[in-house]
Amino acid sequence: MSSQHQVDGHTLTLLHNGGEYFPRLISAIDGATHSIYLEAYIFAADATGRMVSEALQRAARRGIMTHLLLDGFGSAGLPHEWESELHSAGVEVLWFRPEIARFKLRRHRLRRLHRKLAVVDGHIAFVGGINIINDIPGGQIAAPRLDYTVAVQGETVARIHAAMRRLWMVVSWTNLHRQREHPKIKLAHPNETQHKIDFLLCDNLRHRRDIELAYLKAIGGAQHEIIIANAYFLPGMRFRRALLHAARRGVRVALLLQGQVEYRLQHYAMLALYDELLGAGVEIYEYHASFLHAKVAVVDGYWATVGSSNIDPFSLWLGREANLVVCDAGFAESLYASLLHEMSHGAHPVAKASWRKQGVWAHLLARVSYAAVLFLTSVFGYARGREGDV
């Protein structure tokens, strides 16, 4: 169930899966009076996509400036007819790195817009990991995907709004589109002083490591417990060492990871880390109740993060990501309670002894997959971009 919290002058509502998120998002869109910005990695042509599309069209028809920014790879399956409907209603649609030569391996093609953000009227924002896609049980999905979004009201919304407007302008200029509005936008830099709420970006440019560094700082200062739920968990050496050091100094480290195979290469690559993690006393739980899509963490019952960033090379090195960090016991407790419930009722613990009894081919497959992921990331994606390089 969703939970509301008052934190540092903000109202934060923790939303669980699409069942809680989409009604809130559509209600906000229907209540818009001035502007809407929505960013999505996946905008699926399904019942949920239809509901969101129709809400955006309703808003545009009543004169609301409505902006939809889609990733050119994740949303490549959106039919041309859907985009035409949006345009006809007055919705402005832009594509981040549209896939022109889909089957060619290009150096920059792994840099994707992976953020899942929305801001309505500069008053309410949504930050999380939920794509615009059906979250209704049936077919492959036995239960809703495990994922989270935070509805935010308060001064941090202005920073989220500025970040979205700035990217919209950059993509517009890149695609040779004209702006309907020409706002003066202040860049959304992270605050130097410690606040209870922070909005963090990863953009392969100035904010290349902001999200990773926030994780490392929280893990390094942990005294009691670290709980991380992450869909695609392939941390680099520095991140792994931070977790291992925490476990060895007596901090409980528990990872809730993908148990169902969704993307084979990433899944088997993740398994290559099990020996090292389990050997250091890190607890691993594999989620089987449905697909795990969450990118969240709780440290010492006080520090929490919810967002779009996986802990893997694609998110931490290449993608445009956005996470909300909240330092508040009440908010952290709500997220913590949800994760504990999922670990107890929807996941299976991985025992060190049973994992090590896996056949040699299973371990070899994991290591080869891990090497392949690193190769793809370094050769086809890991390159510094320019300010206007989207």
Residue for token digits 């992921």? 373
* pLDDT at 178 (0 to 100): 46
- Mean pLDDT for 182-191 is 48
DSSP conformational letter for 233:
B
* pLDDT at 379 (0 to 100): 57
- The continuous run of DSSP H or E covering 141 comes out as none
Of residues 75 and 261, which shows the higher confidence score? 75
Active site residue 300: yes
Residue 344: partners with Cβ closer than 8 Å, 6 or more residues away: none
Fold classified for 3-101+109-174:
Endonuclease; Chain A (3.30.870)
Active site residue 288: no
What is the C-alpha separation between 382 and 221, in angstroms, rounded? 30
Active site residue 293: yes
* pLDDT at 264 (0 to 100): 75
Length of the chain: 390
Question: C-alpha angle with apex 190: 186 to 194, nearest 5 degrees?
Answer: 135
Considering 121, 217, 275, 288, which one is annotated as catalytic?
Answer: 121
Measured CA distances, 201 to 127, 160, 319 (Å): 11, 10, 10
Residue 352: partners with Cβ closer than 8 Å, 6 or more residues away: 278, 279
Q: Identical fold at 3-101+109-174 and 197-380?
A: yes
C-beta separation of 310 from 231 below 8 A: yes
Instruction: Tell me the domain boundaries of the chain.
Output: 3-101+109-174, 197-380
Considering 5, 123, 207, 295, which one is annotated as catalytic?
Answer: 295
384 pLDDT more than 50: no
> Percent of the chain, pLDDT > 70?
83
Active site residue 10: no
> Percent of the chain, pLDDT > 90?
65
Considering 198, 300, 312, 328, which one is annotated as catalytic?
Answer: 300
Considering 67, 147, 293, 328, which one is annotated as catalytic?
Answer: 293
Measured CA distances, 135 to 57, 72, 139, 160, 257 (Å): 22, 22, 11, 25, 19
Instruction: Note the CATH number of domain 197-380.
Output: 3.30.870.10
Considering 10, 16, 114, 161, which one is annotated as catalytic?
Answer: 114
Considering 10, 116, 123, 161, which one is annotated as catalytic?
Answer: 116
